[in-house]
Amino acid sequence: MPYIIMPINSLPRHRVTQSNPPSEKTLLKYTYLSVFLALFCLPAFAQERWQSDAYITQSFIKIALEREYKETKHPKLVRWEKPISVYVESDTGDSQLQLDLLTTQMGHLAYISGMPIHFTKQAKGAGILVIFTQYKNVEDKVRQYIGNPDKIRKALNEAVCLGNFRLNQRHEITRGTIIIPVDYAREKARLLDCVVEEITQLLGLPNDSDEVFPSVFNDHSIDTYLSPLDYILLKALYSPYLKPGMTVKQVKAAFPNVLKELHQSGDIEHALQRVQIHSLRRYVGD
């Protein structure tokens, strides 16, 4: 509900003179008014936990520099450095709906990260392949587009949908593949989650963590769509102060400048509003 904060000098004044002292009732009235204004205005200035610099830094290290299903002793920062082309293949379900969801989410990610993303009709040379298929075909699709299924057996056994990317020697992401078994994802009520989380992870935030909240990267979170914290993490990932190949130590050293930039742009303070712009949540009317 909108409200108006009256400046102090606009409040009605009670003239105090020796012959006309304020009554106890009047003093009590203005005391209550002062307390009410202080309490009512507090949320406008309060900071959420996920907006603190320390929490953002910790969350970024967790999500950007750890790897799901793989132990990494010396993790490095990864991200795309060139515009991303996306190829979509569907052999099941409503292909137009799938394309609409994917197009909206890709547009959202492009808006947040600043990384140009476009679609192509040619699988060869595409940066990201998104495959909508049936659960029974997942291993065949893995074999066709990723490689030996046995090498990612744990992910196959545990995940509803799969994401995989390749790096060059400079730790730049050069190719990514997402496989979504539509029937199985719908059965688990995770189709939207797959579209949002897997594609976002493919931009360079590959890890899940129960310690990061609110976030689509938290398996125990109720978030289906990108949260304000996810918005901040994506903004940070594509900051000019960070480069692919950075170690944890190097990222921590550079991160104060990243945070300063995000504060100056208002991206931390206004993340709750800005994450909704061009979002899949708005598209589906949720």
Q: How buried is 20 (Cβ within 10 angstroms: 0-12 exposed, 13-18 middle, 19+ buried)?
A: exposed
Q: Which domains does the chain have, with CATH numbers?
A: 49-68+209-286 (no CATH), 80-203 (3.40.390.10)
Q: What percent of the chain has pLDDT over 70?
A: 82
pLDDT at 13: 35
CA 79 to mean position of chain CA atoms: 15
pLDDT at 286: 87
- Tokens at 133, concatenated: 């298929």
Q: What percent of the chain has pLDDT over 90?
A: 77
Question: Under DSSP, is residue 162 helix (H, G, I), strand (E, B) or coil?
Answer: strand
Q: Closest by alpha carbon to 271, among 52, 31, 81?
A: 52
Cα distance between residue 48 and residue 52, in whole Å: 7
Report whether pLDDT(246) > 50: yes
| Tens-place pLDDT, residues 133-186 | 999 999 999 999 999 999 999 999 999 999 999 999 999 999 999 999 999 999
pLDDT at 66: 80
